[in-house]
Structure 1
Amino acid sequence: MKTTVSTHKLPGYGSTLRTAKSLADQAVRLVGRSVPGRMPDVQITLTTARGMAELSAAADIALAGAADRRAVTRAVRDGKRMSRDIQARAIPRPDGSALILINADKHADPGEFAVTLVHELVHAMQFSRKGVLERIVRDTRDGLGIERQPRRQSREHLRLLKQEEQEAYGREYLANQLIPGAAA
């Protein structure tokens, strides 16, 4: 299990990067002990909303194995729309590792960052569970218009996604162990 923290198109955020590196190592150990599953190799990237859209689209394209222009266009459009609203996103990679994109502009203090980091690391742990990666790949391919999935599988994916989100929100209290008062 290897953890890397970097920035993407984010000049002048040296202190934020140092804080992220110190919190990431502690958070990976904490989440690894608390959540069932195996922690994959994790790449945490701090970026802006524009960089998040770009990296998110590239990760979705790689995950789905998309090569046609329509799927790439749809991935870019979806990435732009999603990056306006969210603070962070965890994306599995085809090699079994996880990419965590964090919008640095939406985190005012280290406490908020710790809560988001713990939340996304829980999702990274969930990717290692049986059948989760295949389900996410199938849904991504469906979302990009590459390969349709049956309606039953789509509903099952949404139901399991809701459960996974609840688990991640339920583990945000672990951020208090990183920074006291973070999850308050």
Structure 2
Amino acid sequence: MRILEHRIGRQYQDTLDRVETITQPAIRLVEKHMRGSVGRVEIVVTTSSGVTDLVKQAHRDLLDAKVTSDRHLGRQFGTTTLNSSGVLVIVNAQICRGRAKEIDKTVVHELVHAVQLAKPGARDRILRGLRNNYRLEPLSRVEVRVLNRLVDQDEREAARFERLARQL
């Protein structure tokens, strides 16, 4: 597990400090309650624009393809995706700035996704979805519906586990 910063200034130091303080306890809580491992995870604290840039770069490296997207992810507290070494968790310092409770909930939420992505078969499933989303290998409508249902299910589970943030 590594914690990195990406293009953040001193005004976001409190967010970075909070992420560094709670990450290990949050990992222990999430792994205990989910009975699984976060696996190889890299956590990056960045700005709103950095979130989108980091996701695109992770997907370019992962898929070994030019990926373009007009999706702007900078309005989210955080996001989790695959990268070439495992799982990439990104915390949006701009949105989380000065909101310790939101930082805690975001880190827990995204670590739940890390455990989900470390489960057998999850990486292949997400890669299939990414290849479809970037129009590299289209899936059938049925396959897309199944993948979307699983994503929604994972999102609901992560939201339920946000309650663990109160223990940090």
Shared fold (TM-score, shorter chain, > 0.5): yes
Measure the CA separation in 2 of the matches of 1:120 and 1:58: 19
Measure the CA separation in 1 of the matches of 2:128 and 2:61: 13
What are the Cα deviations for residues 125-164 of structure 1, in whole angstroms up to 9, with x where unaligned? 0011121111110110111111111222111100111111
Q: How many residues align?
A: 166
Q: Does 1:54 align with 2:15?
A: no
Measure the CA separation in 2 of the matches of 1:8 and 1:93: 16
Match of 2:93 in 1: 104
Q: Does 1:136 align with 2:126?
A: yes
Q: 1:84 Cα deviation (Å)? A: 3.4
Measure the CA separation in 1 of the matches of 2:151 and 2:46: 25
Q: Which amino acid aligns with 1:24?
A: T
The answer to which of 135-144 and 33-42 deviates more is 33-42
Q: Does 1:35 align with 2:34?
A: yes
* Structure 2 gap segments, 5+ residues each: none
What are the Cα deviations for residues 29-67 of structure 1, in whole angstroms up to 9, with x where unaligned? 11111113322122111111111111110012222221x
Q: Which runs of 4+ in 1 moved over 3 A?
A: none
What are the Cα deviations for residues 165-184 of structure 1, in whole angstroms up to 9, with x where unaligned? 11101101100100xxxxxx
The answer to which of 5-14 and 157-166 deviates more is 5-14
Q: Does 1:11 align with 2:9?
A: yes
TM-score (norm 1): 0.85
Aligned partner (choices 121, 139, 152) of residue 142 of structure 2: 152
SS at 1:53's partner residue? helix
Match of 2:25 in 1: 26
Q: Which amino acid aligns with 2:21?
A: S
Measure the CA separation in 2 of the matches of 1:90 and 1:172: 15
Q: Does 1:94 align with 2:119?
A: no
Measure the CA separation in 2 of the matches of 1:177 and 1:126: 21
SS at 1:85's partner residue? coil
C-alpha RMSD of the superposition: 1.4
Identity of aligned residues (%): 31
* Structure 1 gap segments, 5+ residues each: 179-184
SS at 1:91's partner residue? strand
The 1:94/1:153 distance shift into structure 2, 3 A limit, reads farther
